[in-house]
Every structure is written in C-alpha cells, then in structure tokens.
Amino acid sequence: MADLAWTSRGRTRRSTRTMRVTVSAVVVAAVALAVLVVPPLVQLDQQAVDLSMKLRPPSAAHPFGTDDVGRDLLLRCVYGLRVSLLVGLVAAFVATLIGTAVGAAAAAFGGWTDRLLMRLVDTFSSVPHLLLGIFVVAVFRPGVWPVIVSVALTHWLSTARIVRSEVLSLRSRPYIDAAISGGATRWRVTVRHLLPGVLPQAGLAAVLMVPHAMWHESALSFLGLGLPTHQASLGNLVQSARGSLLAGDWWPTLFPGLFLIVPTLAVAGLAGAWRERINPRRRSELML
C-alpha cells in the first residue's frame, strides 16, 4: 500500500511538472509570435494623441482599453514587450559572454589571475545593480542601446561565479589530468574540455537572466532613465499609468504589469525544467 501511494505521488508530481512545462512553453511561443508578427502587420505611431479616446475602459474595439492620451493599450503593450524582450535577450547574451570568459579564465589559470578576477567580481558586486545601472545610463542619451549596455555590465557577476565553480569541478576529472599529462596547454584544455562542460550551466544562467534584465530595463524606464518617454516599453507604460491608477483607472497599470510578470513566470518554468534535466541528482531529490 505504501509503495502504491509512493508511486501515485511520484506520478502526480511528474504530471504537474509536465503541465507546468507545457503551459510555460505555450506562453513563451505566444510571446515570440506576438512580438514577431504584430509590429510588422500593425504600425504604431509612438507620438499619436487622441484625447477624445482618453482612458477608455476595455471594450471590443480596444480589448485592453486606451491610455492617458487615447492610444490603444494592447498594441502599445505588444510594442513595449518587444523592446523589453530585445533588451533582455541582447543584454543576457552579452552578460553571459563576459561572465563565462571571466569565470573560465579565473578557474583555468588559477593563482594571481583567479584572485585578481574574483576581487574584480567582488568589487562590482559591492555596488547595487540598479545604482550602477543608473550611473552607466546617465553617461549616454536615453535609448535602447545604453540600457542594454547598462544591464549587460551589471549582470555578468553571477554567471562568472557559476562558471568558475563548474570549471573548478571539471579540473579534478581524470580526463583533464590525462590531457595535461599528454602535453596539452592550459589554453587547449580550457577550449577543448572545460568550456564545453560549462555551456549547459552558462546557457541556463543566460535564460534566467532574460526576465531579470527585462525587469531591470523596466525599473530604469520607470525612473525616467531608460527609453524616451514617448517610446513604448513596459517600464514606460507602468510609469505613465501611475496617475491613472490613483484616479481609479486600473487597466493602464494592470495589463503592462501582466505582460511583464507572465513571460517571467513562463521563462522561469522552462528554466526549472532545464535545471532538472542537466542535474539528474537534483531531479531525483525533487521526486522524493
């Protein structure tokens, strides 16, 4: 009887995990389809104003309602999601490259190189990400690329630590000792054996970094330091809706917030499945 209950519990957990992954994949696919298909088909005038349609509630003509200057909120949410997703993807890719290079170099070469690079990581970590990002963005004019640079330069630290830890673990493997005994240089061992071994962990870190970078961009735009105020981004939409929320108009804040939260949860669901796949021991522990 106990074995039957144990088996049933394991099946229930597997079914729940499968459903979570399926729902997350559907949401991610819908987001990708929306940002790729809608903007080319429906053009948006970023500076259009129609005060006669100001703050209309959700209706058949405007499913998400209109904003404080009469623009369709659904279309602006899609355009804002496209910008935020672009920032997240590019910044996560650049940050992963930087973090992987720093972490791999620190662990592979060791000695003073490791100490110097890790002290550099500790120095950057001592400064809050948002504060450092504000400083980087303040150097440039408002736009997409300054935000990408800001997010990328403040989000490679965790990847560097993860890659360093993985490389240190791989260095103790027998095949690494065999390669070194065979006369392979440190560079060759790093490129041929160590880096391929850390790519799954680095890829997982990059995936998890995408929603984090989207939130970071939204925070900068909400503070007025990211994209120009007329350009649709999720942070700008939430920032411009503050006055409307205080007046009782809930939709200009709710829908941009959902466009930010739902993709974040979907990516987290897929990343969790990926983590369980590349770490079978953790997956077996979760099954208990």
Residue 126 has a pLDDT of: 82
Q: Would you give the distance in Å from CA 279 to the centre of its chain?
A: 21
User: Quick one: average pLDDT of 127-146?
Assistant: 80
Task: Compare 195 and 148 and report the one with higher pLDDT.
Answer: 148
Residue 284 has a pLDDT of: 39
User: Quick one: average pLDDT of 246-267?
Assistant: 85
Mean residue pLDDT of the chain comes to 80
Q: Strand, coil or helix: what is 184?
A: coil
pLDDT higher than 80, residue 123: yes
φ, ψ (nearest 5 deg) of residue 72: -65, 125
pLDDT higher than 60, residue 200: yes
pLDDT higher than 50, residue 222: yes
Predicted TM-score (pTM) of the model is 0.79
φ, ψ (nearest 5 deg) of residue 66: -125, 165
Residues 4-53 pLDDT 10s: 444 555 556 667 777 888 888 888 888 888 888 888 888 877 777 777 78
Residue 280 has a pLDDT of: 52
User: Which residue has 């790093």 as its token pair?
Assistant: 190
Residue 283 has a pLDDT of: 44
Distances (CA, A) of 58 to 42, 63, 202, 266: 19, 5, 42, 25
Answer left, alpha or beta for residue 147, where phi above 0 means left and psi between -120 and 50 means alpha.
alpha
Residue 287 has a pLDDT of: 35
**Strongest mean pLDDT among 2-6, 126-130, 162-166, 220-224:** 162-166
Q: Are 66 and 72 in contact (CB under 8 A)?
A: yes
pLDDT higher than 60, residue 3: no
pLDDT higher than 50, residue 210: yes
Q: Are 222 and 207 in contact (CB under 8 A)?
A: no
Please report which confidence band the pLDDT of residue 282 belongs to, taking 50, 70 and 90 as the band edges.
very low
User: Quick one: average pLDDT of 57-83?
Assistant: 86
Residue 14 has a pLDDT of: 65
